[in-house]
Amino acid sequence: MSYRALYERSIQERDTYWAEQAARIDWHRPFDQVCDYHQPPFAKWFVGGQTNLCHNAVDRHLAARPDQAALIAVSTETNTEEIITFAQLHVEVQRMAAILQNLGVKKGDRVLIYMPMIAQAVIAMLATVRLGAIHSVVFGGFASHALASRIDDARPTVIVSADAGSRGGKVIPYKPLLDEALRVCSHPVEHVLLVDRGLAPAEMQSPRDVDYASARAAVLDAQVPCEWVDATHPSYTLYTSGTTGKPKGVQRDTGGYAVALASSMDQIYCGKPGETFFCASDIGWVVGHSYIVYGPLITGMSTIIYEGLPIRPDAAIWWSLVEKYKVNVMFSAPTAVRVLKKQDPDCLKRHDLSSLKSLFLAGEPLDEPTAAWIGEAIGKPIVDNYWQTETGWPILSLARGVDPSLKTRLGSPGIAMPGYQVKLLDDQTGEELTGADQKGVLTIEGPLPPGCLQTVWGDDKRFVQTYWSTFHNKLVYNTFDWGIRDKDGYYFILGRTDDVINVAGHRLGTREIEEAISSHAGVAEVAVVGVADQLKGQVARAFVVARDPARVADAAGCAALEAEIMQTVDSQLGAVARPARVQFVGVLPKTRSGKLLRRAIQAVCEGRDTGDLSTIEDPTALQQLQAAATT
Ligand code: PRX
* Ligand 1 atom at minimal distance to the Cα of residue 493: 23
Do residues 109 and 236 make contact, with C-beta atoms less than 8 angstroms apart? Answer: no
Q: At what angle do helices 368-378 and 334-341 cross, to 10 degrees?
A: 70
Q: How far is the CA of 496 from the centre of ligand 1 (A)?
A: 9
pLDDT for 52: 98
Q: How far is the CA of 386 from the centre of ligand 1 (A)?
A: 6
Q: At what angle do helices 255-267 and 14-22 cross, to 10 degrees?
A: 90
pLDDT for 49: 98
Q: How far is the CA of 102 from the centre of ligand 1 (A)?
A: 39
Q: How far is the CA of 389 from the centre of ligand 1 (A)?
A: 8
SS3 content of the chain, % helix, strand, coil (to 5): 30, 25, 40
Cα 472 to Cα 38, 362, 445, 453, 477: the distances in Å are 20, 31, 14, 21, 12
Residue 165 Cβ < 6 Å to ligand 1: no
Nearest to 137 by CA among 542, 298, 118, 168: 118
pLDDT for 619: 85
Q: How far is the CA of 236 from the centre of ligand 1 (A)?
A: 20
**Hey, whose CA ends up nearest to atom 13 of ligand 1?**
388
Q: How far is the CA of 242 from the centre of ligand 1 (A)?
A: 13
> Which residue(s) pair with 415 in the sheet?
397
**Hey, whose CA ends up nearest to atom 15 of ligand 1?**
388
Q: 10 Å Cβ neighbour count for 214? A: 10
Q: Which of 364, 390, 498 to mutate to test the pocket of ligand 1 (most atoms within 8 A of CB)?
A: 364
Q: How far is the CA of 442 from the centre of ligand 1 (A)?
A: 12
In order, the DSSP letters of 267-320 are HTS---TT-EEEE-S-TTSHHHIIIIIIHHHHHT-EEEEEES-TTSS-TTHHHH
Residue 365 Cβ < 6 Å to ligand 1: yes
267 Cβ neighbours under 8 A, 6+ residues apart:
399, 401, 402, 417, 418
Residue 61 DSSP symbol: G
Q: How far apart are CA 631 and CA 629, in angstroms?
A: 6
Do residues 45 and 18 make contact, with C-beta atoms less than 8 angstroms apart? Answer: yes
Q: Which of 388, 467, 538 to mutate to test the pocket of ligand 1 (most atoms within 8 A of CB)?
A: 388
Q: How far is the CA of 8 from the centre of ligand 1 (A)?
A: 25
In order, the DSSP letters of 202-213 are ----TTTEEEHH
Residue 398 Cβ < 6 Å to ligand 1: no
User: pLDDT above 90 covers what percent of the chain?
Assistant: 90
How buried is residue 461: exposed, middle or buried, by Cβ count under 10 Å (0-12/13-18/19+)? Answer: exposed
Residue 287 Cβ < 6 Å to ligand 1: yes
Residue 479 Cβ < 6 Å to ligand 1: yes
Q: What are phi and psi of 448, to 5 degrees?
A: -65, 145
- Tens digit of each residue's pLDDT (9 = 90 or more) over 9-29: 999 999 999 999 999 999 999
Q: How far apart are CA 189 and CA 205, in angstroms?
A: 12
Residue 385 Cβ < 6 Å to ligand 1: yes
Q: How far is the CA of 237 from the centre of ligand 1 (A)?
A: 18
Q: How far is the CA of 388 from the centre of ligand 1 (A)?
A: 5
Do residues 584 and 546 make contact, with C-beta atoms less than 8 angstroms apart? Answer: yes
Residue 496 Cβ < 6 Å to ligand 1: yes
Q: How far is the CA of 385 from the centre of ligand 1 (A)?
A: 8
Cα 134 to Cα 55, 154, 241, 408: the distances in Å are 15, 9, 20, 38
**Hey, whose CA ends up nearest to atom 23 of ligand 1?**
365
Q: At what angle do helices 3-12 and 14-22 cross, to 10 degrees?
A: 110
**Hey, whose CA ends up nearest to atom 24 of ligand 1?**
365
Name the 3-class secondary structure at 79.
Answer: coil
Averaged in consecutive runs of 10 residues, what is the pLDDT profile of the chain (631 residues)? 95 98 98 98 98 98 98 98 98 98 98 98 98 97 94 98 96 97 97 98 96 98 98 97 84 98 98 98 97 98 97 92 98 93 82 97 94 93 98 98 95 97 95 96 98 98 94 90 97 94 92 94 96 94 96 95 97 94 94 86 91 84 87 78
**Hey, whose CA ends up nearest to atom 11 of ligand 1?**
388
- Tens digit of each residue's pLDDT (9 = 90 or more) over 388-430: 999 999 999 999 999 999 999 989 999 999 999 999 999 999 9
Residue 477 Cβ < 6 Å to ligand 1: no
Q: Which of 502, 510, 512, 536 to mutate to test the pocket of ligand 1 (most atoms within 8 A of CB)?
A: 502
Do residues 268 and 279 make contact, with C-beta atoms less than 8 angstroms apart? Answer: no
Q: How far is the CA of 480 from the centre of ligand 1 (A)?
A: 10
Q: Which of 269, 289, 332, 386 to mutate to test the pocket of ligand 1 (most atoms within 8 A of CB)?
A: 386
* Ligand 1 atom at minimal distance to the Cα of residue 385: 26
Residue 240 Cβ < 6 Å to ligand 1: yes
Q: How far apart are CA 221 and CA 217, in angstroms?
A: 9
Q: How far apart are CA 575 and CA 279, in angstroms?
A: 23
Categorise residue 79: left if φ over 0, alpha if ψ from -120 to 50, beta otherwise. Answer: left
